[in-house]
Amino acid sequence: MPLPADLHPDPGCWPDQLPQEWPASGLGDNRAPFFVPQFADGTEAADLRFAAAEVLPGKYSLLGLPAFWGGGETLKVTLTDPAGLTVYLYYGVFEDCDLITRAAVLENTGTKPLTLHGVPSAVVDFARKDLDFITFDGEWAAERTPHRAPLRPGVQSVGSVGGIPLHYHTPFAILCAPDAGEATGEAWGAALVYSGNYRVQAELNAAGVRLALGIEPYHFHWTLAPGERFTAPEAAFAYSAGGYGGLRRCFHNAIRRHLLRAPWRDMARPRPVLLNSWEACYFAFDEAKLLELAAAGKKAGADLFVVDDGWFKGRSDTTSSLGDWVADPAKLPGGIPGLCKKINALGMALGLWVEPEAVSPDSDLCRAHPDWALHIPGRETLAIRHQYTLDFSRADVRENIWQQLTAVLDSAPIRYLKWDMNRSLANVYSAALPTARQGEVYHRYVLGVYELQERLLARYPDLLLENCASGGARFDCGMLFYSPQIWTSDNTDARDRMLIQYGTSFLCPPCVMGAHISAVPNHITRRETSLAARAALALTGTFGYELDLTAFDEKTLSELAVWSAFYRAHGELLRGGDLYWLCPPDTEKRGAAWAIVTPDGSEAMVFAAGEVLDGRSLPLPFADTQADYTAPDHGQTFAGTALRTAGLPLPACEGDFPGFVLWLRKEETAKEKA
């Protein structure tokens, strides 16, 4: 909180030389402002003073916003400004995974309206200056590549103004000591639990480093009438003295235990082996083709068949029909109920793809309600991918989509829904809000998405919801509160996925990463990679298939069925184990090695892909030197001491990007037997 001049311990000390818990502009702190309230008289300075603090039992929750749940207790700090503003700061503590969460609620306690032009979720001041800044950046089909550089004087930031986080950056960053690596050195991680416009910024100045994160101030202006409150999204922080490997495992445990929700938060509950129709058919299918594909998927060991884009009326390409969520009778004469019955008869469940936030200009919905799309009056509405974005800040728009979705989901036992979002927001103006409140549209849009997904989970508690945004453009903790898995990237090439999943894993555990075995040559890169490498990357995710299995012979389908059975047999380890990057990939994506280990160390799965499979030995830092390890599938035994020091011998493999997967089981030590 700002420290007024009369409270300074040193009268000669400037406010911007002191650490502050909730800094504001206008009172001598000349660091880059994030919190900017504007009072009715035009003043943009906040004089917040400490008023109270209390410890509350249980973890706080946030109205209308996702948040980590289940923590032991909450610290609530109250700050007041005599001009009529009260800020409530909330701190959640999760001792079992070394996570601290932060949130803020702002209340207009005055007699006149005030406007918020910027609201951080949290600000943290570091006294030290010698820190590196790691961000996770990229583009479509190349998301979340780690970039690390020493902080330079001034502000460095990443963020989005596209309405969703987008592919270019991720609402997560790390500050670390210059000597920090995978297993050594200090590292601090900060993640925003939010799925809209955001900013994560670090400022190096004379006092040290200030880390701030929250809603992007661009086009954010929120008016609070007297008595009204605004809730900022949650931020989550973790620290590790054991490098970003230790930091990674803090976040993984927190997400699995305290962000994912029932029934998928229980890592012992199996996830289905999924076959998606997209790369097999694209838009070119009918019921006969889908049934043929599903039958082949059953032979490959799939449990769930997902019909991707193209199942609704008139949809044969990207130019029409979004918003009309009714089955196309030309493709599905029996509708969704008829298809579902036939898929169930094959011994598989049915899932569907939808894009609820979008509407095609060529659709019944758009013709009936052209004002329901985001559009600026008097200007041409920009179509991206032949589609507009529905104004999800409006309750009537959300209700229409809700009625359409529930009609489909109530018509048949749909077990899975892939919720896609394929464009950024543009023409951001809502006909339902007055001119002075158009700065609220971006945030209200996100709240609308959250509300609709919350309603889905309440009505269909066993529905497996997978979010997607043109691949990985909305891969954040906010969406993970509603869906236990997110499609990691539209790029399913094993070599590229190795780096994408590596970057994603700094924050997110493998069990939330949508990952499938796809065809070769890959549909995006045209690259050939081995089945073993594709399987290794898919196993380090949700596991499934994204290819035309009808083109495969019985022998190949049987080989795929072995991988499906392997995933089922070891699913609890793969979903709930600790991830270790033993040989991280470089930006050239030449190869990598990694392992997933049960928390008690009794089992491990070791993976390798690419050029590391050259006959080298790979030290396993998690190996117990007092125990032996067996590889049951290969009939081998290894001494734990040898695995930890000399390393696991990797085979020398040839061919196009080879892969390797080995299951290790720890034998009881003499002490454990006793």
Examine residue 45 and state whether it is found in any structural domain, yes or no. Answer: yes
Give the Cα separation of 648 and 642 in Å (integer). Answer: 8
- Choosing from 217, 233, 258, the residue where a domain stops is 258
The pLDDT value given to residue 669 = 65
How much of the chain is in helix, strand and coil states, percent to nearest 5?
25, 30, 45
Q: How far is CA 583 from CA 146, 176, 499, in A?
A: 15, 20, 12
Whether residue 521 has a cis bond before it, omega within 30° of 0: yes
Mean pLDDT, residues 258-270: 88
Q: What percent of the chain has pLDDT over 90?
A: 93
- Indicate if the pLDDT at residue 313 is higher than 50: yes
pLDDT band at 289 (very low <50, low <70, confident <90, very high): very high
At 11, the pLDDT band (50, 70, 90 cuts) reads: low
**Model confidence pLDDT, tens digit, residues 133-172:** 999 999 999 999 999 999 999 999 999 999 999 999 999 9
The pLDDT assigned to 383 comes to 94
Whichever domain contains 590, its CATH number is 2.60.40.1180
Is the per-residue pLDDT at 438 higher than 70? yes
Is residue 534's pLDDT more than 90? Answer: yes
Token code pair at residue 587: 């930006």
- Count up the domains in the chain and report the number: 2
Task: Tell which of 209, 230, 258 closes a domain.
Answer: 258
Average pLDDT over residues 436-444: 97
In a domain, 172, yes or no: yes
Distance, CA of 62 to CA of 277 (rounded, Å): 38
CATH of the domain at 178: 2.70.98.60
Per-residue pLDDT tens over the stretch 65-78: 999 999 789 999 99
Asked if the model's pLDDT at residue 2 lies above 50, the reply is no
Cα dist from 479 to 447, 512, 524, whole Å: 12, 11, 26
- Residue 647 placed within a domain: yes
Please write the tens of the pLDDT for every residue from 619-667: 999 999 999 999 999 999 999 999 999 999 999 999 999 999 999 999 9
For the record, the structure tokens of 453 come out as 């997904």
Q: What is the mean pLDDT of the chain?
A: 95
Residue 230 lies in a domain: yes
Mean pLDDT, residues 517-544 taken together: 97
pLDDT computed for residue 30 by the predictor: 86
Alpha helices in 224-286 (DSSP H): 243-258, 278-281
What mean pLDDT comes out for the span 204-223? 95
> How confident is the model at residue 269, as a pLDDT?
83
In angstroms, the CA 557 to CA 32 distance is 58
Domain ends where: 236, 258, 280? 258
For residue 10, what pLDDT is reported?
57
- Confidence band, pLDDT 50/70/90 cuts, at residue 13: low
| Residues of the domain holding 648 | 580-673
Looking at the annotation, which residues are catalytic?
A: 420, 490
What pLDDT is stored for residue 138 in this prediction?
A: 98
- The pLDDT of residue 5: 47
pLDDT at 672: 58
Q: What is the pLDDT of residue 171?
A: 98
One-letter identity of residue 234: E
pLDDT > 70 fraction of the chain, expressed in percent and rounded: 97
Instruction: Give the pLDDT confidence score for residue 349 in this predicted structure.
Output: 98
Query: Which tops the pLDDT comparison, 19 or 236?
Result: 236
pLDDT in tens, 377-411: 999 999 999 999 999 999 999 999 999 999 999 99
Q: Is residue 568 part of a domain?
A: no
Both tokens of residue 268? 């012992």
For residue 470, being part of any structural domain is answered with no
* 81 assigned to some structural domain: yes
What confidence tens digit (pLDDT) does each residue in 227-252 have? Answer: 999 999 999 999 999 999 999 999 99
pLDDT at 523: 94
